[in-house]
Structure 1
Amino acid sequence: MPNENSYEVALQKSNAIREGLAKTPDKFTMLTGDRPTGRLHLGHYFGTLKSRVELQDMAVHTNVLIADYQVITDRDTTEHIQDNVYNMVMDYLACGIDPDKTMIYAHSAVPAANQLMLPFLSLVSEAELARNPTVKAEMEASGHELTGLLLTYPVHQACDILFCKGNVVPVGRDQLPHIELTRTIARRFNNRYGKVFPEVDALLSETPLLPGLDGRKMSKSYGNAINISMTAEETAKRIKKSQTDSERMITFDPENRPGVSGLLSTAAICTGRSEVEIAEEIGMGGSGQLKKYVTEAVNEYFAPIRERRQRYENDLDYVKDVLHEGNRRANEIAEQTLGEVQDAMGMVY
């Protein structure tokens, strides 16, 4: 019997979910989200935003969380948080997330969802939390000491998923431990107090990770990302400044030519062509021609998204309204779920 928590089993379940989504999308409640630590970039768009819009348009119950509380798991300041949150909503709307179909809300605005943290913490051991590889990776990446909030970050995520009775979470392979812990918490609660929460499974992303312009992981801190909010001119500038190499012939070789290959991957995902095909077409055109091709591919793909985004930039009141309405709906759902939890635990007085 393969282990339930193995990648193979997760993949089987994910494939079954894909089949189910096509037939009965309304049986699925999806939750996903982002930490507002800066601007969203192409990696976010092709990695998650695009598939959120697809799920929303299939009539799945979609919920998108702006995880503002999770910023302080490994940051010492919330200086730009409000600006980051509003810009994140603008990015969501510009990319096609429809607030009439998808609930967009902020962590800190939903007290009842955060209150689930207390009973959930009683269902996990310190060893289970310490074992979570994502927590270790986050800690190492930030160079931050292990705060209590960072240690319990996976439990916080379980609250996010379960408060709205989420049963499907789109993730990459590296996030599977979070889904396992959420499933464990839901089962332990149900076994101990009576069934309140659904079984949760991962919908594994089919999109390969888009590298940054230098071939490394796309990241705000590396300066190798193209933000959704950038203008066509800023995009051209960022691509022009990217590091390539001295070899004139353009080839796709991620191992030995990370800069050139990162640019080819960006062009490929925006045009729907393969990296090798684009490389062969440019051939001896060198990095100048490659950068020109990539710039045009990105700017053409994102032109309608950026045009929509400009409208939201000029209408902050609407952006705030979207968030207020999402927060209101989230509070309604969270209070109902918290009520069921208190009822199951015999804590209604």
Structure 2
Amino acid sequence: MDSFAAARSRMPDLEARIAANPGAFRILTGERPTGRLHLGHYFGTIRERVRLQTLGVDTFVILADYQVITDRDTSANVADSVDSAVLDYLAAGLDPTRTTIFTHSAVPVLNQPMLPFLSLVTEAELRRNPTVKAELAASERALSGLLLTYPVHQAADILFCKGNLVPVGKDNLPHVELTRTIARRFNDRYGRIFPEPEGMVTHAPEIPGVDGRKMSKSYGNAIALSMTADETADAIRRTRTDAERTITYDPEGRPAVSGLLSTAALCLGTTPGQVADQIGDRGSRALKTLTTDAVNDFLTEHRRRRIELESDPRIAWDVLRAGNEAANRIANTTLAEVRDRMGMSYANVR
């Protein structure tokens, strides 16, 4: 059994433990603010965050703005992406009185444990990480030190607040495994401080875009949560399908048709096969119409709440200010413990 299958097999027991004692768990999750959040973010992670928050799990959401430059040459438009993400979080139901929303760059102490953490892993372990391996395979330029150490950055993000639960999809499960390794090695070497976090496999770990590929801003196949109904209709209408009249769910042979079926099914709470049966031989036009209506109906309340929130231009920054202050308090406490365990708490002694 591979690690992802093993993680999925543990989910019933983990869900039972969360339901029995949600206060025993603290999650750290988030994303890089590289553009507008989309349906893949919503079904893959945001919905799960809202559910866990509602159960009573202590929830931390990081907008990892520093990590934008792991594979990009510019941090342009990050502020707009951060503002947009916070509005989508709030519109989706994240409550800043129960969920700490913060930005990486505003919590400088968070990065200090990176140095001892880096001493606990080898270069070979970093290069085996799937994210790093994929970038090495795809890029024609030299691997940056920031990208090579990206998995350790994520470990620092998780462990600074002593997160013990990390909602993940298949691609990010190895990051959690390395975080567990770092926590265990630190505890063995210096004394126990950190929990070994568990990866919580989300219910929809892989979300296809309208063209059948993984939904991604860089592919241009995503339906952003902040799109208008007309923008959504246009994005779906421009999807290139095929001339076959009978609609079938075939991700390998008919990726774009299957991507639209999956999108509609997620919004309707059904299966792609059932949507295909509903359309039958009415062709791609009927599929696109049904998908457009399903997405727009699903996002109606989200858009209404988002527009209401946008009427206050300061609301996103007020939420971040409070979240950043809370995250800094926790980071300072954790760093003091790290220094003490390492015998370096003399920093402020005369």
Q: Shared topology, TM-score over 0.5?
A: yes
Instruction: Return the alpha-carbon distance in structure 1 between the equivalents of residues 173 and 11 of structure 2.
Output: 11
Aligned in 2, Cα 1:320/1:142: closer, same or farther, shift over 3 Å?
farther
Pair 1:290 & 2:296 matched: no
Match of 1:135 in 2: 132
Relative to the length of structure 1, the TM-score reads 0.96
The secondary structure found in structure 2 opposite 1:65 is strand
Looking at structure 2, the residues matched to 86 and 271 of structure 1 have their Cα atoms a distance apart, in angstroms, of 29
CA contact (8 A) 1:13 1:201 kept: no
Match of 1:205 in 2: 202
Amino acid of the residue matched to residue 96 of structure 2?
P
1:241 aligns with 2:255: no
Deviation at 1:10, TM superposition (A): 2.9
Alpha carbons of 1:46 and 1:126: their partners in 2 closer, same or farther (altered >3 Å)? Answer: same
Counterparts of 1:309 and 1:142, CA distance in 2: 37
Runs of 4+ residues deviating >2 angstroms: 5-16, 138-145
| Mapped pair 1:62 → 2:59 | yes
Residue 87 in 1 paired to residue 84 in 2?
Answer: yes
Deviations 1:186-234 (A, max 9, x none): 1111111111111211111221522111111111122111000000010
Where structure 1 has 5 or more consecutive residues not aligned to the other structure, the ranges are: none
User: Of 157, 160, 176, which aligns to 2:157?
Assistant: 160
For residue 224 of structure 2, give the secondary structure of its aligned residue in structure 1.
coil
* 1:88–1:143 CA distance, 2 compared to 1 (3 A): farther
Select which of 52, 60, 71 maps to 2:68. 71
Letter in 2 for 1:49: I
**Post-superposition offset of 1:297:** 0.4
* Alpha-carbon shift at residue 122 of structure 1 (Å): 1.1
Which residue of structure 2 aligns with residue 256 of structure 1? Answer: 253
Shifted more, 136-145 versus 123-132: the winner is 136-145
- Equivalent residue, structure 1, for 2:106: 109
Aligned pair in 2 of structure 1 residues 195, 206: CA closer, same or farther (>3 Å)?
same
Q: CA deviation at 1:143?
A: 5.1
Give the match for residue 218 of structure 1.
Answer: 215
Q: 1:16: how far off?
A: 2.2
Q: Aligned with 1:222: secondary structure? A: coil
The residue number in structure 2 matching 1:280 is: 277
Candidates 170, 182, 185, aligned match of 2:182: 185
Using the alignment, how far apart are the partners of 1:47 and 1:9 within structure 2? Answer: 19
Pair 238,176 (structure 1): closer, same or farther in 2 beyond 3 Å: same
Is 1:318 matched with 2:315?
yes
Matched, 1:169 2:166: yes
Q: CA contact under 8 A between 2:186 and 2:192: conserved in structure 1?
A: yes
1:12 Cα deviation after fit? 4.0
Are the counterparts in 2 of residues 117 and 155 from structure 1 also a CA contact under 8 Å?
A: yes
Match of 1:41 in 2: 38
Measured in 2, the distance between the counterparts of 1:222 and 1:11 equals: 28
User: Which 10-residue stretch deviates more, 192-201 or 139-148?
Assistant: 139-148
Residues 254 and 160 (structure 1), Cα distance of their counterparts in 2 relative to 1, 3 Å cut: same
Aligned alpha-carbon RMSD (Å) = 1.5
Say if 1:317 and 1:115 are closer, same or farther in 2 by CA, change over 3 A.
Answer: same
Paired position in structure 1 for 2:297: 300
Compute the displacement of 1:125 (Å). 1.3
- Aligned residue identity for 2:184: R
Alpha-carbon displacement from aligned partner over 1:273-293 (angstroms, at most 9, x marks no partner): 222222122122211111111
Q: Residues 102-122 of structure 1: CA distance to partner in whole angstroms, max 9, x if unpaired?
A: 000000110111111111111
Q: Does 1:346 align with 2:348?
A: no
- Residues 2-38 of structure 1: per-residue CA shift (max 9 Å, x gap): 8xx8345433443321110111111001010100111
Q: TM-score, normalised by structure 2?
A: 0.95
- What is aligned with 1:25? 22
**2:265 counterpart residue number:** 268
1:122 to 119, 122, 129: 119
Aligned residues: 346
Q: 1:147 aligns with which of 120, 144, 149?
A: 144
Stretch of structure 1 that moved more, 101-110 or 123-132: 123-132
User: Residues 144 and 82 from structure 1, CA distance in 2 versus in 1: closer, same or farther, beyond 3 angstroms?
Assistant: farther
Secondary structure, in 3 states, of the residue corresponding to 2:218? helix
Relative to 1, partners in 2 of residues 1:139 and 1:38: Cα closer, same or farther, differing over 3 Å?
farther
Whether the aligned pair in 1 keeps the contact of 2:211 and 2:256 (CA below 8 Å) is yes
- Offset, 1:139: 4.3
